[in-house]
Amino acid sequence: MVAPTTPQARRARRRAPGQASFDDLGTPLFDVTFCVLDLETTGGSPTDDAICEIGAIKVRGGECLGTFHTFVDPGRDIPAQITVLTGLTSAMVRPAPAIEHVLPSLLEFIGDAAFVGHNVRFDKGFLDAALVRTDRPRLANPTVDTCALARRLVRDEVPNCKLGTLAERLRLDHRPNHRALDDALATADLLHVLLERAAGFGVATLDDLLELPSAAAHPQARKLALTDRLPRSPGVYLFKDATGRVLYVGKASDLRARVRSYFSSDTRRKVGGLLREAAAIDHIATSSALEAAVTEIRLIHELLPRYNRQGTTWAKAAYLKLTDEAFPRLSVVKRVRADDATYLGPLSSARLARRVADAVETALPVRRCTADPARQPRQAPCAPAQLGVSACPCAGDIDQGGYEPIAASVRAALTTNPELVLDRLLERMDALAGDERYEEAADMRDRAIAFADAHRRVRRLDLVHRAGRLVVQLGDQRTVIEDGRLRHTEPADAPSLLSSIDGDRPPSARTPRPWVEPADADELTVLATWIDRNAERIRIEHCDGTLCSPLPRLPDLPDR
């Protein structure tokens, strides 16, 4: 039943059938074992019909490792039309073993090889149906369809992609005749021809081959060759145009797989234009995914690529400021000054900062108008003062001493005690909902969420920023963070490219600011997210400050 295999095949690794590892998918094609299989059946329905002949050939690096051929008793007569097509008769297959007796040998022959067929869904469908009927799991091996590959690679050279037509036009050594082993041999010949053609698309590994049917349909598929030099390691990739200008910067834990996905599974609208303009794809290998994420942010800030959005919006950041005037008020500003004012931020935009200000002004009667009665007397109080929602000096009924408790409450709400705002907003939300004023209640909820989210973001950034020099260990890697910037990743002998991208002065010459600059917020976000994600696995070796906040936990408001 099974022809002798070569010693290399007998020494092949054995795992559970179909359990391909990440390394297998990245295996060069000349090291991949393919099992090309063809079935003859009593009809076209895996549910109602049965297998009557199996033929398979196992190949690697262009060498035949073994063949498998057997008749199978389908447990029924072979229809006349199948006999006319294949030459198989009921008398030929009746002495053969039933499929349940054939499957163990067939599965052992297939092993963990990539499963190949011409219109492979047909053969795999019958094989899976037989496995299910015998209480076995479906075949999970990587699957290669030579019909789909032929449509992408040689469709313009042939009238159709039938196996017989391809064998004739491409002058294959074996010709199909609707018998299982002969068809499998012809399919194996076709596979080798298609692998040679696929090399022109930069296909060098198994996962490249699996992606090719969809990637080759991409209008920019010829540019797949730009990914040839990309490694299967963490790093940053840079799409460049014909002049060398960087169009887009991205990060990946597997550079080759991520960039090649742009030609197949990535359906974002900007990708089409990006690939049309791309003339080169460069990369920077890093020692870890964290270093890749930080390198990406720094390059985006430095180069401002046209197709990047994330990492280029920091210039729109803003702070919410409680001024240091005699009657402090809230103001949205772009930068922090060396004054006695209180700041909350950086926030992602002036619009969000204004939304947070609305939340504070809704909960606390902070001054809203900009008038100075001592210099610009008003004939009437401002509208918020007349409505009684703001304690403004223009109303003439409050002095500086009376206003100070209000300013102190706002100052505390922006720094250490956000409950002064949140509790009042939620009380008002519940009251409005009780009165069935649901739209107004939803607005109160949204203001509370905006205020809580602003505090949550600032706390995360501030925690890492104020930690000073922070050394943490995760697995066999040590990470050094100083003043909210990634400085080094160890093992110490691993090359680090961060210093070449970070143009700042050495850490010893830096003067830590008591606030976070907008340009630093993106990197701090990456670091804070990494620390949060690995909080249960990292070990702190050194910390100048603390990674534990003394402030109370913020409520989870969206659930309300």
* pLDDT tens column, 84-120: 999 999 999 999 999 999 999 999 999 999 999 999 9
> Do the Cβ atoms of 283 and 238 come closer than 8 Å?
yes
CA nearest to 385, candidates 327, 322, 443: 327
Calculate Rg over the CA atoms of the chain: 34
What three-state secondary structure class fits 527? helix
Pick the more confident residue, 511 or 462.
462
Pick the more confident residue, 543 or 18.
543
pLDDT score recorded for residue 12:
40
Does position 183 have pLDDT exceeding 90, yes or no?
Answer: yes
Q: Which of 69, 174, 178, 488 is catalytic?
A: 178
pLDDT score recorded for residue 320:
94
Compute the average pLDDT of residues 289-306: 92
Does position 299 have pLDDT exceeding 80, yes or no?
Answer: yes
Does position 75 have pLDDT exceeding 80, yes or no?
Answer: yes
Predicted confidence band at 5 (pLDDT cuts at 50, 70, 90)? very low
pLDDT score recorded for residue 266:
58
Pick the more confident residue, 179 or 503.
179
CA pseudo-torsion sign 184, 186, 191, 192: positive
User: How far is residue 235's CA from residue 303's CA, in Å, rounded to a whole number?
Assistant: 17
- Highest mean pLDDT: which of 20-24, 141-145, 400-404? 141-145
Does position 494 have pLDDT exceeding 70, yes or no?
Answer: no
Determine if residue 323 is left, alpha or beta; phi over 0 gives left, psi from -120 to 50 gives alpha, anything else beta.
beta
Does position 377 have pLDDT exceeding 80, yes or no?
Answer: no
Mean pLDDT (the chain, rounded)? 84
Helix (H) or strand (E) holding 521: helix 518-533
User: How far is residue 537's CA from residue 479's CA, in Å, rounded to a whole number?
Assistant: 13
CA nearest to 74, candidates 41, 39, 31: 41
CA distances from 529 to 157, 186, 251 (A): 52, 53, 15
pLDDT score recorded for residue 16:
40
Residue 178 designated active-site: yes
Does position 514 have pLDDT exceeding 80, yes or no?
Answer: no
Predicted confidence band at 195 (pLDDT cuts at 50, 70, 90)? very high
Compute the average pLDDT of residues 204-218: 73
Does position 265 have pLDDT exceeding 70, yes or no?
Answer: no
Pick the more confident residue, 150 or 207.
150
> Do the Cβ atoms of 286 and 234 come closer than 8 Å?
yes
Residues 6+ apart with CB under 8 A from 104: none
pLDDT score recorded for residue 13:
37
pLDDT score recorded for residue 498:
54
pLDDT in tens, 325-371: 888 999 999 988 888 899 998 998 999 999 999 999 999 999 888 76
Predicted confidence band at 394 (pLDDT cuts at 50, 70, 90)? confident
pLDDT score recorded for residue 372:
67
pLDDT score recorded for residue 21:
42
